[in-house]
Structure 1
């Protein structure tokens, strides 16, 4: 019986992989939401955070394609909060060659600009090869990230390969991902829910805190919570100030940062985190964050080209 069930599940997964590229975007998103969150979404009158994100997947603002491009967004960040908060670039080659590989330092990070999870950390170049990295790079560059989850603003982004400095703290550890869910302000100040993902490339754990670093009884997605909550990052007030300044006028956005030894580096801007299919545990937070999203949406204005060019206050 168990083997029959496993066979059926495998068959269903295979059928889904084969069919998902053929079905329309809205149907794909509805089915994905049902599969991962456990219910069919309401797109006409969204109430949950995930439902609002699904709407964004289908109806993106034009400039999200620029701000979600991990290379193009650097000019925006430079103008808003300063170049010192950008991770130093090592190379952005038109073509990845053995000569480019030879010129790279011993430690670096290989990425592409056009989607999620295209990240390869190299701590010792002697442990890899041009052939190995090029095989991975070409697979990334060939992937149409829009087709993966139907986030339409990724469709216009031209895939580019790039290499940047590997961030480590004084102890030689790769810093945690600080994922700042930015919901604007209320009378008490910024509304921020910060997820922190530690040991992302080992045994990852995820925890969520409010702006006052109160640990929430909340798990998002597939990351288990830590047994001992991580400490507040150093210079938290400065992190909040810079984050608020950077995303001012953009509506809801998730801002990813890295803070090795208290120095603040920009990671990326994500306008549709989880592509609208990230389960919340407990589920009530999906509705609570949905209300915050609704409050923000009522105040949103489209981002114009001048705002992007100048990085000025909206």
Structure 2
């Protein structure tokens, strides 16, 4: 039944379920309201930024090729012959959504036909339909294979830099969401731009879980600088990075985290972040 609902009803119902209040999407003030307004009226550039293949050109032009994970190939459809030509370890992903990722540590242990079938099924997935994130629907679907940035056989930590551009003369405001343990028990911790613990946390992850003892990344200042450059004049964006062998690598740009349903606590932070998120949306050339 929800697929029959018009957008204005659907998004209001989702917002009320998540935030326990009505949302103002025509004149948004809070961080969450601006995310939901953005989902309903995405800028044309959003599809490019969310496209894991196309965004590589933007990263190269804006900050340089040195931040790109080496790419082994892109495919409209993966074949066993393509699989044969890939190195022993790599990461395979679809470019038009999230979660469609396969980390191949040793391809000799896998069936080429099975991997190809799984990857090609991703291409049939209308990612964005469920959450009605329209900018994903305009991405030409492809697969890409990248170098696997493994650390002792595991995926590296994920640094998600949230960048807020007030655009009123104030400097951009950043905080870093560190995700660890994707191969085991996932934990999250949030740090301010000087790597002190943030006085807030993501809903669903208690303050106790924030006591993460990871070391400050050696390239923290570079990470923040690159994230701000990639965000451009957008009021807000999340830019994800990996650090491998002390080198910084770009992961992706996310414009509507968790389909707009990402929440931070304690109460009042939604309004505070909304003030840092300049509106209306604008993307420089």
Please give the TM-score of this superposition, normalised by the length of structure 1: 0.83
Q: Distance in 1 between matches of 2:172 and 2:32?
A: 21
Contact 2:201 2:265 in 1 (8 A): yes
Aligned pair partner of 1:252 in 236, 239, 260: 236
User: Contact 1:190/1:211 (CA < 8 Å) preserved in 2?
Assistant: no
Match of 2:267 in 1: 283
- State whether structure 2 residue 125 is matched by structure 1 residue 143: yes
Q: Secondary structure at the match of 1:105?
A: coil
Looking at structure 1, the residues matched to 34 and 197 of structure 2 have their Cα atoms a distance apart, in angstroms, of: 25
**Preserved contact between residue 36 and residue 277 of structure 1 (Cα < 8 Å):** yes
Which of residues 179, 197, 206 in structure 2 aligns to 1:197? 179
Call closer, same or farther: CA 1:232–1:188 in 2, change over 3 Å: farther
How far is the alpha carbon of 1:221 from its aligned partner? 4.7
Cα RMSD for the two superposed structures: 2.1
Equivalent of 1:54, from 33, 36, 55? 36
Instruction: For residue 46 of structure 1, report the CA deviation from its aligned partner.
Output: 2.2
CA distance in 2, matches of 1:252, 1:24: 26
Distance 1:214-1:255 versus aligned 2 partners, 3 A rule = same
Shift of 1:205: 0.8
Between 52-61 and 159-168, report the one with greater CA deviation: 159-168
Q: Distance in 2 between matches of 1:57 and 1:155?
A: 12
Q: Which residue of 2 aligns with 1:81?
A: 63
Deviation at residue 26 of structure 1 after TM alignment: 2.7
- Residue 36 of structure 1 and its aligned partner are, at CA, apart by 2.8
Deviation at 1:196, TM superposition (A): 0.9
CA contact (8 A) 1:110 1:120 kept: yes
Partner of 2:222: 238
Q: Which runs of 5+ in 1 are unaligned?
A: 1-18, 308-314
Structure with higher Rg: it is 1
Task: State the partner residue of 1:263.
Answer: 247
Q: Secondary structure at the match of 2:75?
A: coil
From 130, 136, 146, give the equivalent of 1:164. Answer: 146
Distance of 1:137 and 1:221 partners within structure 2: 32
- Work out the CA distance in 2 between the residues paired with 1:223 and 1:100: 41
Native 8 Å contact 1:208 1:219 kept in 2: yes
- Does 2:74 match 1:92? yes
Partner residue in 2 for 1:183: 164
* TM-superposition CA deviations, 1:241-288 (whole Å, max 9, x none): 222222222331111111123211111111112222123232322222
- Structure with the largest fraction of helix: 1
Name the CA distance, whole Å, in 1 between partners of 2:257 and 2:26. Answer: 20
CA contact (8 A) 2:154 2:183 kept: no
Distance in 2 (alpha carbons) for counterparts of 1:263 and 1:36: 38
Moved more, 251-260 or 280-289: 280-289
Find 1:103's aligned residue among 81, 85, 88. 85
TM-score computed with the length of structure 2 as normaliser: 0.90
Question: Please, which moves more after superposition, 224-233 or 122-131?
Answer: 224-233
Identify if the C-alpha distance between structure 1 residues 159 and 223 changes in structure 2 by more than 3 Å, giving closer, same or farther: farther
The answer on whether the counterparts of 2:232 and 2:283 sit within 8 Å (CA) in structure 1 is: no
Where do 5+ consecutive residues of structure 2 fail to align? none
Task: Name the CA distance, whole Å, in 2 between partners of 1:228 and 1:154.
Answer: 33
